[in-house]
Structure 1
């Protein structure tokens, strides 16, 4: 497939003998996430990770459409393209990114980290107040990171009060010919989404059909 929607969910869960894992296991426990530090949810060394940085090849184009994280513990999520942070203060200084309170994951979750018994009776249901618009474009041959940070210390595996935090990203991957179309739409200033990519394909087909009809007419009706 040359155009497909992708999601990635991260949590600070790993086995008690290691801080990160490639696959979640039934015996996973929360790992310590030090405060005021950014962790790449793909390769940050905490929780479920992948084997290499998230990046695009020369024939790929990515559109990041949604990001979210746990609303408690002062959690926030940032997008970094190569070495540039997407969310900054008005004076172009660094900031943590989008707070989980503005874009909670999962939707309808609480803003408090509670033990299971209390969580079952907590009626707080946060809805998002932030939409990632316009979308974030990752051009061919770029590295992108989704960075999670928190302002309040999270208990780790050795503690009795363990806390799980999560982050989430949704994006569309355009590959091959669709990536070429995405780059063309970018040049034209047209929003890149599946509908517009399909529209551009139809436009190309219609142009080819008109060219064939014109060629037939020029030849006196013979192909």
Structure 2
């Protein structure tokens, strides 16, 4: 029981030994060690090929993955309120310098981002919600270390997360689909800005807090930490008020 703020970061990156073993995913996020001039790269990281149609950041078989999909138990409620990402291919020689990757939220069989004709779109472009802020993170050359890899910024509408959060009710399965239009092939990564990255932040309500979240949703109120806590306080005050209206017990009291 409780309210937890959780995040998940996905990187299309695996250790070279995993890639050589003909695997494209790992259970943990590999530590990236940038190359040092004159030294041998001892911890080489490979970005595997990303399917053209996109992949799940949880169980898509690319990068760091989970063992099971993001499925809620009967006592859990999730509020997805922020997503962001990065097109690592934009910094690769020969590729377009523009962001060309997208993030889509899927709950069961429904997709959050749609076209005006209600067909499924690629999702939210990472040019609108970059993660992390890549400006000033070029590490290829110390002389240009303070130069921006791309002149982009988070759009004002998304500075505080998604304007309309996505609610995932108990028993539903949710997923984040990352699509890169450049269809990158596997290659060794030598710069942190060349990783394809996706990030999601969500609120997890468990136990009685999930019940309160469902009640707020039915009543048309936003499911936020403040509203859940306010609803809980209201229930406690209501219980105390009802107890105060009960007649006081009368009669003799036995004393041991």
CA RMSD of aligned residues (A): 2.7
1:116 to 140, 158, 161: 140
Aligned to 2:181: 151
Are 2:83 and 2:198, in contact at CA under 8 Å, matched by a contact in 1? Answer: yes
Instruction: Report how far residue 127 of structure 1 moved.
Output: 2.1
Instruction: Report how far residue 94 of structure 1 moved.
Output: 1.8
In structure 1, list runs of 5 or more residues that go unmatched.
none
Aligned to 1:15: 15
CA distance in 2, matches of 1:160, 1:176: 45
CA distance in 2, matches of 1:127, 1:203: 41
Partner deviation per Cα, 1:30-64 (whole Å, 9 max, x = no partner):
32334631110011101000100011111100000
* TM-score after normalising by structure 2: 0.77
In structure 2, list runs of 5 or more residues that go unmatched.
32-42, 91-98, 251-256
CA distance in 2, matches of 1:213, 1:161: 66
Are 2:102 and 2:180, in contact at CA under 8 Å, matched by a contact in 1? Answer: yes
Query: SS of the counterpart of 1:186?
Result: helix
Matched, 1:43 2:59: yes
CA distance in 2, matches of 1:119, 1:32: 27
CA distance in 1, matches of 2:190, 2:165: 40
Partner deviation per Cα, 1:48-107 (whole Å, 9 max, x = no partner):
001000111111000001000005440110000011110000101121100000111113
Aligned residues: 218
Matched, 1:89 2:89: no
CA distance in 2, matches of 1:120, 1:216: 75
The aligned runs of 1:164-179 (5 Å cut-off) are: 164-179=195-210
Aligned to 2:215: 184
Are 2:3 and 2:204, in contact at CA under 8 Å, matched by a contact in 1? Answer: yes
Partner deviation per Cα, 1:86-144 (whole Å, 9 max, x = no partner):
0000101121100000111113x149x97722862433453211421211000100000
* Bigger Rg, structure 1 or 2: 2
Query: SS of the counterpart of 1:172?
Result: strand
CA distance in 1, matches of 2:235, 2:14: 49
When residues 125 and 159 of structure 1 are mapped into structure 2, their CA distance, relative to the original with a 3 A threshold, is closer
